């Protein structure tokens, strides 16, 4: 995803010109979750201090580092229609994070009292260092949250996962992406023949007593209560032990589109919306990424924005402890107006 580091509307561009269509299983049409909105004006999200209307942009201070995310790399066995970082079988814009490179960040997180380490990708189970890094994380006493699609890369490691579950129990949580409660919509986003393997992986995790969550989405106009009821019916039919009415166990994410128009968040928005900077994801989390071509990993302010220069906070957690300007469409649509967080 080699868009210019200072850009925002180009977040969906693939690295070195590689896009999702390079995967033979990529969906043929547009995403069923696409955002219907006019194009984002170029004047918006252009200045970290001021909005296009000349108002002071909202900022979020780090209150406490509760969750440290480790991005294991953008390589994935799928190529979804609207993946926010264009993960695919060929996109290595974020290279594999090695265990050796990650350990200093775990050391630093321990000194800061961080409670949770999150793993995201790409598909974490494709990284050859992922399982040793996961075991190291759990052995240090952290809670671990692993985001996965539960397909072949995960299933190759069933024995190791069973051993980790036996040793660490509910301290290991796997959150599986099931984009919709219907096969047609899920495969419209994730590609043909992606539903069956995901359901099989979910059933295996449930049958073997893992602490399990699901990440889903809603098509435009779909009611959240109705969506949760449909997911609940699906889980009951399939014997999957996930409480669809619990927002921590079925996480329904708002949509994102960096090219679609959205309001900028000003300092005055907090009182208007009845929200606080402490509610926003970057108040309690940071992410380690290793961008292709860079000598080592660095800290990004947000799991959703790994490339934008304004969200690169340095090469240590201490350096990354400053305020974050909400200078990206995802800040507005996903976090502030959408009220979402990637953390548990």
Domain assignment present for 265: no
User: 285-289 and 298-300: which strand pairing?
Assistant: antiparallel
Domain assignment present for 12: no
Q: What pLDDT does residue 24 have?
A: 59
Domain assignment present for 11: no
What's the token pair of residue 306? 């790994």
Domain assignment present for 53: no
Torsion (CA) 184, 189, 191, 193 in degrees, nearest 10:
-40
Q: What pLDDT does residue 344 have?
A: 62
Domain assignment present for 240: yes
Q: Domain residues for 306?
A: 65-257+282-322
Q: Which has the closest alpha carbon to 32: 181, 176, 184?
A: 184
**Residue 307 and residue 309: Cα distance in Å, rounded?**
6
Q: Is the per-residue pLDDT at 337 higher than 50?
A: yes
Domain assignment present for 340: no
What pTM was computed for the model? 0.93
Q: What pLDDT does residue 22 have?
A: 54
Domains in the chain: how many in total? 1
**Residue 91 and residue 87: Cα distance in Å, rounded?**
6
Domain assignment present for 14: no
CB 271 within 8 A of CB 265: no
What's the token pair of residue 249? 């166990």
Query: Mean pLDDT across the stretch 280-293?
Result: 98
- Residue appearing with tokens 């976090």: 335
Q: How confident is the model at residue 255 (pLDDT cuts 50, 70, 90)?
A: confident
Q: Is the per-residue pLDDT at 21 higher than 80?
A: no
Run of H or E residues at 48: none
Eight-class DSSP state of 309:
G
The CATH number linked to 119 is: 3.20.20.70
pLDDT single digits (tens) 109-136:
999 999 999 999 999 999 999 999 999 9
Domain assignment present for 44: no
User: 67-71 and 285-289: which strand pairing?
Assistant: parallel
pLDDT single digits (tens) 100-109:
999 999 999 9
């Amino acid at each position: 995803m080699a868009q210019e580091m200072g850009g925002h509307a180009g977040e969906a561009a693939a690295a070195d010109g590689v896009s999702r269509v390079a995967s033979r299983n990529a969906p043929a049409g547009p995403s069923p979750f696409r955002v219907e909105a006019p194009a984002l004006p170029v004047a918006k999200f252009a200045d970290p201090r001021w909005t296009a209307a000349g108002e002071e942009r909202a900022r979020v201070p780090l209150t406490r580092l509760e969750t440290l995310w480790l991005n294991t790399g953008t390589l994935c066995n799928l190529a979804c229609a609207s993946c926010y970082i264009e993960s695919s079988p060929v996109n290595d814009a974020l290279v594999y994070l090695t265990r050796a490179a990650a350990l200093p960040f775990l050391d630093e997180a321990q000194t800061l009292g961080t409670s949770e380490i999150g793993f995201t990708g790409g598909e974490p189970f494709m990284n050859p260092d992922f399982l040793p890094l996961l075991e190291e994380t759990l052995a240090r006493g952290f809670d671990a949250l692993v985001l996965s699609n539960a397909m072949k890369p995960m299933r190759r490691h069933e024995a190791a996962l069973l051993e980790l579950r036996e040793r660490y129990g509910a301290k290991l949580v796997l959150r599986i992406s099931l984009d919709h409660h219907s096969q047609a919509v899920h495969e419209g986003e994730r590609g043909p023949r992606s539903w069956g393997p995901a359901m099989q992986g979910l059933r295996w995790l449930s049958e073997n007593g893992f602490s399990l969550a699901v990440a889903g989405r809603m098509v435009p106009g779909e009611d959240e209560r109705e969506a949760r009821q449909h997911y609940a019916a699906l889980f009951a039919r399939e014997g999957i032990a996930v409480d669809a009415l619990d927002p921590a166990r079925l996480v329904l994410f708002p949509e994102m589109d960096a090219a679609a128009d959205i309001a900028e968040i000003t300092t005055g928005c907090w009182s208007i919306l009845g929200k606080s900077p402490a509610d926003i994801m970057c108040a309690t989390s940071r992410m380690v990424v290793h961008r292709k071509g860079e000598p080592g990993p660095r800290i990004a302010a947000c799991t959703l924005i790994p490339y934008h220069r304004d969200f690169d906070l340095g090469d240590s957690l201490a350096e990354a402890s400053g305020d974050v300007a909400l200078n990206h469409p995802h800040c507005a649509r996903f976090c502030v107006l959408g009220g979402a967080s990637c953390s548990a």
